[in-house]
Structure 1
C-alpha cells in the first residue's frame, strides 16, 4: 500500500508516525506514573521479532533490583548519545530511518531517571519497528556493538583496578583481560644411562687395585684422594664393604657410592666442570624406643646375649656402670639389668641400634641408674656424672723425687729400667688417698713393692700405690675418691720414704702428671634444668616397663 503513495507522501507519513510515537512515549510530568505504581520490565527478553510481546514481570511495589538497574544503565551508556535540541527541525523520514538508534538515544535523554526502565524497552521496540521497515540493524544490536567498541578502547588494566576497588561492571559486557603467559620452561635434560660396576672389598685390597679392576686410571684415584675431608674415608675401606662405580659410555667415572651404614652413603660425583665433588647422602631416620631386660645366671655376657642385646650394647652397658661395678669380680648370680635404647628405621626397615638412653643395674642389692644427657654423657637421676674424676696427685707431697721415665737408670741396681710412675717424696705417715672411686683389687706386701694397694676404677683405669708404711683397706673393698687407703713409707726396695704412684689406661702405663683425666662435673644451672625432666620421664618409663614385665610373669 505504501508503495502506491508518492515518495513525498511516504516521507510525510513516516514523520507523522515518529511524532505520534514520541508524543505517546513522552508524557507530561503531571501524568507520569510514580515509582511505586510502575511495573518492572524484564529486559533480558530477546527482541529479534517485533511481533512478539515483551514479557512483563508481575507488579511489584519494591524498588527495581540492582541487576535490572545495571542492565538499564548499560543500555543507556552503550547507546550513542545525541545532543538534545528541541528547536532543531524534524529530519525527513528517510534520514530518521537511517538512524533509529540516534532517535532512541535522544528519547532516553528526554526521560527522567525513574522512567528509564519503561522507556528503555519501549524505545527499543519502536526503534526495532523503524529499523525493520528500513532494513537496518535493531537498536539492541546497535547498542551491543557500541558497547563492544567502547570496551575495546578502554584499558584492561583500568578495568582490573576497578574490580580491585570494588566497583561494579556492566552486566553482559565482555571485558578484555591482559594475561601474562610465562615463557615455556626449558626442556629437561635427557636422562643419562650409566654402567654399574660393583666391587666388594677383599682382604689385601687397596683402592689402587680396586680402581684398576674397574678399569679406571690412577689419575682418577689421585683426583678423588685430593678432595680430602669425607673422601679420605675411602682410604680405610674394610673387607666386605661394597663400592658402586657408575661409568658413562666412554668408561669415565661419573659417580662412586660407598655405603657406610644403612642410612649414610658417601658419594663422589663428577660435576659439569669435569671435576669431582664429595657429599654424604643421609636418609631420614625414624627413631623408636625399645627395651631389654636380663637376669644373670652364669655371666653378664650370656645374660646380655639372652636379652637380645648386641655385642656393642653389652660393652656400652658395662662402660656406663663400670665406674661403680667391677664386671669381672663384682657380678653375682641373680643380679639384673634393664636397658632402654634407640632403634633406627629407614623407610620402615630396621637400620641398626642407636644409643642407650636409660639403664638400671642391680648388683648385690645395690641399685644403679643412669640416664643419657644431650652432651652424650650419662648421669644419675640427680644429675651426678656416672664417669668419675681422678685426683692428679693422691698425696700431699714435698717434691717429686723421680719422674715418669721409660728409660730411667735404676738407683739401686744401676741398670736401665723403666720408671712407670712418679715418686712423691713426703714424710713417713703422710696420708695417701684414693685417686678416684673404685674397688680395691689387691692390698698386700711384696719384696720389691713393700706395702701396696691396687684400685680398679673402671674397665679402663687402674691406679697403683707402692712402698706404703701402712695399709688401711682390704682386697675387694669399695672406696670413694679421697678415702685414706694408706700412708707414705719406705717399704720394699727404696732409698728413702716416698709414694710410688702409677696410672694405667687399658693396661698401658701413662704419665700421671700429663695423662688426660676424665672429668666429673655435676650438671648445674640451665643444663640441669633441661636434664631433670628428661631423667624423670626416663626413670618413670623404666619403672612402668618393670611393672608390666612383672605382671606378665
Structure 2
C-alpha cells in the first residue's frame, strides 16, 4: 500500500543512525538479581509444570484412540485483513488547484484530466475556492472512488466512480433548522455585543442590513442600546453551520424602539420577502444611512473647504469617510450603474442613478466590482475603499445629487419604500403578532415558524 507523504515533508532521504540512537529515551538500569535466586526460580517453575501436567491428566484423561493435539488457529484466521478504502481530507490552500491535490495523492495527469472533463458539465473543478475542504476516498489500489466538495452554503458536489468513469451531481445539505432567541446590550459597538452573547459576527451583519435604513451603526449607536432577535440557525450533523433568516427583531436606539418582522409574499408572479413594521410599513428607505459599515468622518459637506491636494478653497459637495484600503463599499439604494472607471481627480469612481431623480457617487476607490449598465440593489457591495486620484489617504468621498443638485448625505431625509401590498396585510399582521409574542417570551420557542 502506498504511503502518502504528509504535506510539508521534505523530499530528503535521511539514512538510519548506526548504533544506539543518542536521542532515544534511555531504559532505566536493571537491578542486580541476588545470589541464589536462579535456583529458587527454577524450582518454582518445575513445580508449576508438574501441577499443570497433573491437572491435564485429571480433567482430560486419555482414552482409546484419543490424543492431545495442541489447538492451532485456522489458516484463514492467520491471514491479515485486506486493507479497505482510505479517506483523505485536504484544506485547499490559496492558489492551489485540484490537479495539484490529486497529483499529491498519486493520480496521474491522464486520470486527473479524465475526471475534470467528465465532471465539467455539472461543475468546473477549476473554480475551487481556497479555505474549503475537499474530501476524497481512495481504493487500496490508489483509484479515486469518490470526491466531495462544498460548492456553497446550501449544496455540495459529489463525484463517484462508476464502471464507465465518474458521475457527478450537486446535492443539497440536509440542514436541521432551529429558531433561537438572541439578545444583547451595546457597550461600544454591535459586533462586540453579538460576540459577547456567544454568537458569530454574521448575525451582526444581518442586523445591520435590516436596521441600517434607520440606524447608522458606526456613528449612531449609544451605550445601553439593546436588541433582541428570533433567528434561525442551521445545523448539520448536530453542529452549527450558519444563520438562516431573522424572523423578527427589535432594536432600541437612542430612546426609540424599532421593530422588524420578516414576511414572504407573492407579487407579480414572483416570491418576494422583506422586513416590515407591525403596521405593514417597510423598514427600507430610499437610501441607506451610510455606504460603509465602519468608518471615521474626516470631512463634511461644505460650500467652502481647503482642498487637501490643491491647497485652494472650494466647495466640497460630499462626505469623506476614512477607512482602510479594501473596506467594502455598498450601494446606498437600488439603481443602475451609469459610470464605473477612472474619472480624473476622483480616481476610480462609480456613479449610480436611482428613481425620483437621485444619483449617488463613490470616489477614490481601489477596486470597482460593477460595470456600466448593471443593475444593483441597495446594500450590494460595489467597490472597495482606496486612495486613487487626488487623495492624501485611503477614504471614500460619497455624494448624493437630486435633479442635478447636491444634497448633504448626513442631513438628507429619505422616504420609505412602498409598504406591504394591502391584500397581504391581514396575513402579515397575524404572523407579526405571533412572532412578537414569542420574541417577548423566548421560553415558548418550539418547532418551526414557517
- What TM-score results when the alignment is normalised by the length of structure 1? 0.42
Given the alignment of the two structures, is residue 326 of structure 1 paired with residue 196 of structure 2, yes or no?
A: no
Given the alignment of the two structures, is residue 524 of structure 1 paired with residue 421 of structure 2, yes or no?
A: yes
The 5 A counterparts of 1:163-178 are none
Pairing partner for 1:444 from 295, 298, 302: 302
Pairing partner for 1:237 from 94, 113, 129: 129
What displacement does 1:332 show?
Answer: 0.9
Gaps of 5+ in 2: 1-82, 265-271, 292-296, 306-312, 322-327, 334-353, 379-415, 446-450
What displacement does 1:259 show?
Answer: 4.6
What displacement does 1:264 show?
Answer: 5.2
Which of the two has greater strand per residue?
2
What displacement does 1:213 show?
Answer: 0.6
What displacement does 1:222 show?
Answer: 3.2
The 5 A counterparts of 1:447-462 are 450=315, 452=317, 454=319, 460-461=330-331
Pairing partner for 1:205 from 96, 114, 123: 96
Q: In structure 2, what is the equivalent of residue 358 of structure 1?
A: 248
Work out which structure has the larger RCO, using CA pairs closer than 8 Å and 6 or more positions apart in sequence.
2
The 8 Å contact of residues 186 and 224 in structure 2, kept in 1 or not, is answered as yes
Which of the two has greater helix per residue?
1
Count of aligned pairs between the two proteins: 277
Pairing partner for 1:309 from 199, 208, 222: 199
Structure 1 residues 437 and 500: CA distance shift in structure 2, 3 A: closer
Structure 1 residues 203 and 452: CA distance shift in structure 2, 3 A: closer
Aligned CA RMSD, in angstroms, stands at 4.3
Given the alignment of the two structures, is residue 252 of structure 1 paired with residue 143 of structure 2, yes or no?
A: yes
C-alpha separation in 1, matches of 2:201 and 2:361 = 28
C-alpha separation in 1, matches of 2:147 and 2:330 = 40
What displacement does 1:358 show?
Answer: 1.4
Structure 1 residues 309 and 500: CA distance shift in structure 2, 3 A: closer
C-alpha separation in 2, matches of 1:534 and 1:347 = 30
Question: 2:440 aligns to what SS in structure 1?
Answer: helix
C-alpha separation in 2, matches of 1:513 and 1:200 = 38
The 8 Å contact of residues 369 and 381 in structure 1, kept in 2 or not, is answered as yes
Given the alignment of the two structures, is residue 373 of structure 1 paired with residue 263 of structure 2, yes or no?
A: yes
Question: 1:382 aligns to what SS in structure 2?
Answer: coil
Q: In structure 2, what is the equivalent of residue 382 of structure 1?
A: 279
Q: In structure 1, what is the equivalent of residue 436 of structure 2?
A: 539
- When Rg is computed on C-alpha atoms for both structures, the one with the higher figure is 1
C-alpha separation in 1, matches of 2:155 and 2:246 = 21
Given the alignment of the two structures, is residue 291 of structure 1 paired with residue 181 of structure 2, yes or no?
A: yes
Structure 1 residues 329 and 253: CA distance shift in structure 2, 3 A: same
C-alpha separation in 1, matches of 2:107 and 2:436 = 56
Cα deviation 1:22-66 (Å, max 9, x = unaligned): xxxxxxxxxxxxxxxxxxxxxxxxxxxxxxxxxxxxxxxxxxxxx
What displacement does 1:338 show?
Answer: 0.9
Gaps of 5+ in 1: 1-191, 390-435, 464-480, 484-498, 549-553
C-alpha separation in 2, matches of 1:323 and 1:455 = 20
What displacement does 1:502 show?
Answer: 4.0
- What TM-score results when the alignment is normalised by the length of structure 2? 0.51
Question: 2:203 aligns to what SS in structure 1?
Answer: helix
Structure 1 residues 251 and 517: CA distance shift in structure 2, 3 A: closer
Q: In structure 1, what is the equivalent of residue 167 of structure 2?
A: 277
The 5 A counterparts of 1:142-153 are none
The 8 Å contact of residues 91 and 130 in structure 2, kept in 1 or not, is answered as no
Cα deviation 1:56-98 (Å, max 9, x = unaligned): xxxxxxxxxxxxxxxxxxxxxxxxxxxxxxxxxxxxxxxxxxx
Q: In structure 2, what is the equivalent of residue 420 of structure 1?
A: none
The 5 A counterparts of 1:57-76 are none
Given the alignment of the two structures, is residue 335 of structure 1 paired with residue 205 of structure 2, yes or no?
A: no
The 8 Å contact of residues 97 and 128 in structure 2, kept in 1 or not, is answered as no
Structure 1 residues 202 and 515: CA distance shift in structure 2, 3 A: closer
Given the alignment of the two structures, is residue 503 of structure 1 paired with residue 394 of structure 2, yes or no?
A: no
C-alpha separation in 1, matches of 2:158 and 2:130 = 17
Structure 1 residues 512 and 501: CA distance shift in structure 2, 3 A: farther
Structure 1 residues 522 and 460: CA distance shift in structure 2, 3 A: same
The 8 Å contact of residues 212 and 288 in structure 2, kept in 1 or not, is answered as no
